[in-house]
Amino acid sequence: MVVFFAAFASLTNVTKTVAHKVVEGGGIVRSIQNHGIRVLPHRFKARYPDMEGNRYYEKGRYFSIYYDANPRVLKQVENVLRMDEEILRTNHLQARNPLWYVNIAHEGRNPYIRKVKYLEKKEQEEEEERLKKEEEKKNSEAS
């Protein structure tokens, strides 16, 4: 998430630069989302005043860039965003993937493995019950 206070044309230049860095580094840009101009949670201070002399901002344009890249590219993207004077704040988050919950090392914590084990146990109990009924039926016929 990036908070930006400049014109829309400047925003497109920054997003293009970030996208090029990601692609050049072997990554993939998944999506770019412009969340529009919003009221900031508190008054943000820019490093330098803008052309009108404003240094404090109460509104800003939020946008997100979702990408997959290695840590080296992440550092390059951070440097590009840090060097731009019109960017007030940046925040890098690692997106969650449902496959991350597949962790064989901790089977008790993994909901997928617990479900599979539950289903296997239930299936085994049903099989044992079926065999028990068949044996009882054979014993009753033999008597």
**C-beta neighbour count of 77 within 10 angstroms:** 21
The mean per-residue pLDDT over the stretch 63-88 comes to 89
Which two tokens mark 117? 């084990």
The mean per-residue pLDDT over the stretch 121-141 comes to 90
pLDDT of residue 85: 81
Which two tokens mark 41? 């949670």
Among positive and negative, which fits the CA dihedral 113, 114, 115, 117?
positive
pLDDT > 70: percent of the chain: 86
Contacts of 85 (CB under 8 A, 6+ apart): 46, 47, 48
Q: Are 81 and 69 in contact (CB under 8 A)?
A: no
What region, left, alpha or beta, does residue 36 occupy, with left being phi > 0 and alpha being psi -120 to 50 degrees? left
Residue 106 has pLDDT above 80, yes or no: no
Least confident interval from 3-7, 39-43, 49-53: 3-7
The mean per-residue pLDDT over the stretch 65-82 comes to 91
Express each pLDDT in 110-124 by its tens digit.
777 788 889 999 999
